[in-house]
């Protein structure tokens, strides 16, 4: 079960609307959903909220250390409350996915993401859950640094916001530890096609009054 939801980003108004802050956007949306407020917690170098869901403590965290030191915040909170890596979900921007795509996975490499790199180091394990929010790729490796620190175009922003809203619906399954169910819900982006209504046979007798 997920006890700690972490969103990655950079603090400060100049970074607020940039692609690298997609993780913050997701946590902000979850905080609204759970009707909690994130407040500064100096012990964990971040903005934090604590709530209880079905008797289970659940933490929301936005590290305020800047992206490259995200693990300092995540590690401090996880160690203090004895939260295991597999009980942590880290939401972050993903260059390899187009805007509108969002995927859930457990473990794996940091893929060059500096926030994940530091979390790997601080937790001493890659075995935490990641929710990867697609932001697209600029097409050239040399442009990545400026790409993630720019605001997405309005049409891209709409796709990212829709992906966040879609994946957010799976938080109850995550808290309940139903990660297979959460994964299926997040990875299913198109609504199933409705089955065509069955037409009654043409000679079917109409029910008499009182029998319907």
Residues carrying an active site annotation? 20
User: Are 5 and 28 in contact, with CB atoms under 8 Å apart?
Assistant: no
- 114 annotated as a binding-site residue: yes
Q: 107: left (phi > 0), else alpha (psi -120 to 50), else beta?
A: left
- 68 annotated as a binding-site residue: yes
- 21 annotated as a binding-site residue: no
User: Are 7 and 59 in contact, with CB atoms under 8 Å apart?
Assistant: no
- 15 annotated as a binding-site residue: yes
Closest CA to 129 of 164, 192, 179: 179
| 50: helix, strand or coil | strand
User: Are 128 and 64 in contact, with CB atoms under 8 Å apart?
Assistant: no
Binding-site annotation: residue ranges for tRNA: 15, 66, 68, 114
Binding-site annotation: residue ranges: 15, 66, 68, 114
């Amino acid at each position: 079960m997920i006890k700690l939801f972490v969103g990655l980003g950079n603090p400060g108004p100049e970074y607020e609307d940039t692609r690298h802050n997609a993780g913050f956007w997701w946590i902000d949306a979850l905080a609204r959903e759970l009707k909690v407020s994130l407040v500064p917690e100096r012990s964990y170098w971040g903005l934090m909220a604590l709530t209880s869901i079905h008797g289970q403590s659940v933490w929301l965290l936005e590290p305020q250390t800047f992206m490259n030191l995200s693990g300092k915040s995540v590690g401090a909170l996880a160690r203090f409350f004895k939260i295991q890596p597999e009980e942590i979900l880290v939401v972050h921007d993903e260059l390899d996915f187009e805007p509108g795509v969002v995927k859930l996975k457990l473990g794996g490499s940091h893929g060059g993401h500096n926030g994940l790199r530091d979390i790997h180091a601080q937790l001493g394990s890659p075995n935490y859950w990641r929710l990867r929010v697609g932001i697209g790729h600029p097409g050239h490796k040399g442009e990545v640094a400026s790409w993630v620190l720019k605001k997405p175009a309005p049409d891209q922003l709409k796709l990212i916001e829709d992906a966040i809203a879609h994946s957010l619906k799976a938080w109850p399954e995550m808290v309940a530890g139903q990660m297979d169910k959460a994964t299926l819900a997040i990875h299913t982006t198109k609504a199933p096609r409705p089955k065509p209504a069955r037409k009654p046979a043409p000679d079917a007798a109409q029910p008499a009054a009182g029998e319907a």
